Amino acid sequence: ATTATILALILGLLAAYGFSRFSRAPMNDERSFFILLTLRMLPPFAVVLPIVSYWVFFGLADTFFALIWTYTIFSIPLTVWLIKGFVDEIPKSIDDAARVDGYSFWRMFRRILIPLLGAGLAATTALVWLFLWNEFLFALKVAGGNVVTYTAHLPQLKLGQRTLWNVFAAMGVIGSIPPIIILILFRRYIIRLYLR
């Protein structure tokens, strides 16, 4: 979940900046943004079979690579949507002033924009990571065999008619520790995200 969150954050930040700042670009309109968001709104059951077929065709099924990129692709729409709201709040005049001062695009992005987006990036990171940590279907179908995530491992605790309730409960407690830590660390940013 962590690697996919980092990749989605990097790609989503660039896309959100493009959607926010280059509104007159040919493919940048409300319809394109809506199409991007509908990728996240598709039910996973509708796309899991084509995705698994794709990874099997390339011989990458049941690998970390396939799972990370599947998670990344399905996290980008949420990331773009959240970060775009924060980029929209930053005046475009700051970008123009940085260019006048001789900053290149990447220098302006790294030294000015990312620090201004700090709270938004923290909240987005926490939410995307939590969604990926709790994701079940792709973890079960795309990986499932050799690569087992926490959520995909839970159904394996049922042995025929017998369920290992003690192990199930222990795994539930252990599996809830990382999300609790993330929520404690990022709670003020998440609250700020919902109050804006």
What are the structural domains, with CATH classification, of the chain?
A: 2-195 (1.10.3720.10)
Q: What is the mean predicted confidence (pLDDT) over 145-174?
A: 77
Question: pLDDT per residue over 96-142, tens digit each?
Answer: 898 898 888 899 988 989 888 888 898 899 889 988 888 878 887 87
Percent of the chain residues topping a pLDDT of 90: 8
Q: What is the mean predicted confidence (pLDDT) over 23-28?
A: 67
- What pLDDT, on the 0 to 100 scale, is given for residue 184? 85
Lowest-pLDDT choice from 9-18, 134-143, 148-157 = 148-157
Above 80 in pLDDT, residue 169?
Answer: yes
Question: pLDDT per residue over 47-70, tens digit each?
Answer: 888 888 888 898 888 888 888 998
Q: What is the mean predicted confidence (pLDDT) over 32-52?
A: 80
- What pLDDT, on the 0 to 100 scale, is given for residue 157? 72
- What pLDDT, on the 0 to 100 scale, is given for residue 79? 92
- What pLDDT, on the 0 to 100 scale, is given for residue 27? 64
- What pLDDT, on the 0 to 100 scale, is given for residue 25? 65
Helix pair 2-21, 64-89: axis angle to 10 deg: 40
- What pLDDT, on the 0 to 100 scale, is given for residue 11? 94
Q: How does the average pLDDT of the chain come out, rounded?
A: 83
- What pLDDT, on the 0 to 100 scale, is given for residue 9? 94
